[in-house]
Structure 1
Amino acid sequence: MAFYEYRGMPARSKIINSTIGRRLRQARERAGLPQDCLGALAGLDARMSRHEGGAHGPPMKFAEALAKVLGVPVAFFYCNDDRLAEIILAYSAAPEAKRQTLLESARSLVV
């Protein structure tokens, strides 16, 4: 087994799946939904524990359906930086005028 593999899965895939699982759990708990109801609400026949545990990364259509039910942008699931994930949630919850202000503020910080 190569040094970057773990149980047949490349290390990068394992990290991405664990990030998605952590974000999925955060969003589900934020929405107040039990694990067994989320898949059904999203119209998906899946065991959420596999995705939250990082065993499987959801395909994009699956992630989009979950994001819609949970009221979060799909990008939130794939964000491995906790502060950036919070910014993504704040941005998505803000009205359009505030989004523009947030974008301009962020740009001014790096100039």
Structure 2
Amino acid sequence: MTTNLQNIFSKRFKEARRAKGFTQEKLGIAIGLDEFVASTRINRYEKGIHQPDFRTLSNIAKVLDIPVAFLFADDELSKKILDLK
């Protein structure tokens, strides 16, 4: 991912996780990560250190009940995406 896209993803991902009331560990476990690495992996996604593969992105979107596109949209576009949902 490019730096700007990483920043957008990290911001959106953290916003969505918090809005749904998940801790990093609980979300990691809910999307199928091993409980021993769940919190660290989610933290690294949020900090832009690692990027999830598409399967993981799909699981994240499903658990958080958001479209995958929301995770990569700027502020204006993200509102439109959620309005369509």
Q: TM-score range by the shorter chain?
A: 0.7 to 0.9
Aligned residue for 1:38?
Answer: 27
Aligned residue for 1:5?
Answer: none
Which residue among 53, 58, 69 is the counterpart of 1:64? 58
Q: Is the 8 A contact 1:19 1:54 kept in 2?
A: no
Q: Is the 8 A contact 1:22 1:52 kept in 2?
A: yes
Q: Does 1:13 align with 2:6?
A: no
TM-score (norm 2): 0.85
Which residue among 48, 52, 77 is the counterpart of 1:84? 77
Count of residues in Structure 1 that have an aligned counterpart in Structure 2: 80
RMSD between superposed Cα atoms in Å: 1.3
Residue 80 of structure 2 aligns with an amino acid whose one-letter code is I
Distance in 2 of aligned mates of 1:55 and 1:86: 26
Residue 62 of structure 2 aligns with an amino acid whose one-letter code is K
Q: Is the 8 A contact 1:35 1:49 kept in 2?
A: yes
Identity across the alignment (%): 38
Bigger Cα Rg: 1
Secondary structure (helix, strand or coil) at the match of 1:56 reads coil
Q: Does 1:22 align with 2:11?
A: yes
- Greater length-normalized contact order (CA 8 Å, ≥ 6 residues apart): 2
